[in-house]
Amino acid sequence: MGATGKFALLSAIWGSSFALIKVAVDAGVSPVQVALARCLFGALALWVICAAQGATVPRDPRTWGHAAVVAVLLNSVPFTLLAFGESKVDSVLAGVLNATTPLTTLAFALLIVPGERVTRTRLAGLLLGFSGVLVLLGVWRGLDGDLVAGGLACLAATTCYGAGFAYTRRFFSGGPHRASALSAVQITCATVQLGLVAPVLSGPPVWPGVHVMLALVLLGALGTGYAYVLNLDLIREAGPTVAATVTYVTPLWSTALGVVLLAEPVGWNTFAGGVLVIGGILLARRRVARASAPVSGSG
């Protein structure tokens, strides 16, 4: 498969994750159980990939410690927040709000990554992107409780992604290990974390039905397993700048699938807000493409 095919497949996988989450939460699966299932099936898929590649598993405590932190920031907390958000709002809105991930990543990179600095262009991009969030939420119409709670949960998830990508860039992405091995360690840590708290927060899991379980398996094995490796392949073949543009395409998939499969309504402000968010990303990244690590938001 060429780089173009991998780009299309990766954007489709990450874009479809929002519809799969919506199927699970609408069936009554609690947000933390959705996150746990997602990480469990993702970890299993990644360990199979590691075995197929003959990847060496990191053994040093420092790497595992950083993996545990990254798991909290990129998996355990945001996956739970996103599932909670989709229990309140449509998958279409959740998918478009997720496009703010490069903006939150840049904000945290400016705080913790050496060499990053604030410029007027970056600041303008951040402001433009987050003005798009206000348009997406339709603030001029007034905000009901579910929209506020769901929207803020989705934005909190992207904020976690931003902190996690910046932390990963500084502390976790280097070294000799394959990305599949590092990802397997990370998602395994997230599975353990969620496995400890899920019974406390939501009680024991219950069988949700065959079609919902299939959605969770696909969400984990593809969106949280195979997609990690696919993203790395795309970075290596097409470069980080091209790989980062997956973020711009995933909302198109999430919107199309939400409308076609879930019959979710789409207002004009969804498109207008999405354009503002993506415009803000392009503006904020205009001067940082050379120095910044790739940032592709996952669902």
For residue range 167-183, what is the model confidence (pLDDT) as tens digits? 887 787 667 788 889 89
Could you tell me the pLDDT band of residue 52, with boundaries at 50, 70 and 90?
Answer: very high
The SS3 assignment for 54 reads: coil
State what percent of residues in the chain have pLDDT above 70. 88
In this structure, is residue 296 part of a structural domain?
Answer: no
- Domains held by the chain: number: 1
Rounded to whole angstroms, the Cα distance separating 248 from 186 reads 25
Which DSSP state fits 260? Answer: H
In this structure, is residue 291 part of a structural domain?
Answer: no
In this structure, is residue 255 part of a structural domain?
Answer: yes
In this structure, is residue 221 part of a structural domain?
Answer: yes
Tokens 């060429």 — which residue?
2
Closest CA to 47 of 172, 180, 214: 180
In this structure, is residue 281 part of a structural domain?
Answer: yes
In this structure, is residue 178 part of a structural domain?
Answer: yes
For residue range 214-273, what is the model confidence (pLDDT) as tens digits? 999 999 999 999 987 887 777 667 665 566 667 778 888 888 899 888 888 888 888 888
291: pLDDT strictly greater than 50: no
Residue type, 74: L
295: pLDDT strictly greater than 50: no
Rounded to whole angstroms, the Cα distance separating 35 from 248 reads 24
Cβ-based burial of 89 (10 A; exposed 0-12, middle 13-18, buried ≥19) = buried
- Please give the pLDDT value at position 294: 45
Q: Which residues contact 193 (CB under 8 A, 6 or more apart)?
A: 68, 71, 72, 76
In this structure, is residue 290 part of a structural domain?
Answer: no
Residue type, 192: V
Q: How many helices (H) and strands (E) does the chain have?
A: 14, 0
Domain housing 184: 3-285
The residue with greater pLDDT, 64 or 232, is: 64
For residue range 141-171, what is the model confidence (pLDDT) as tens digits? 766 778 889 999 999 998 898 888 778 877 8
The SS3 assignment for 178 reads: coil
Mean pLDDT of the chain: 85
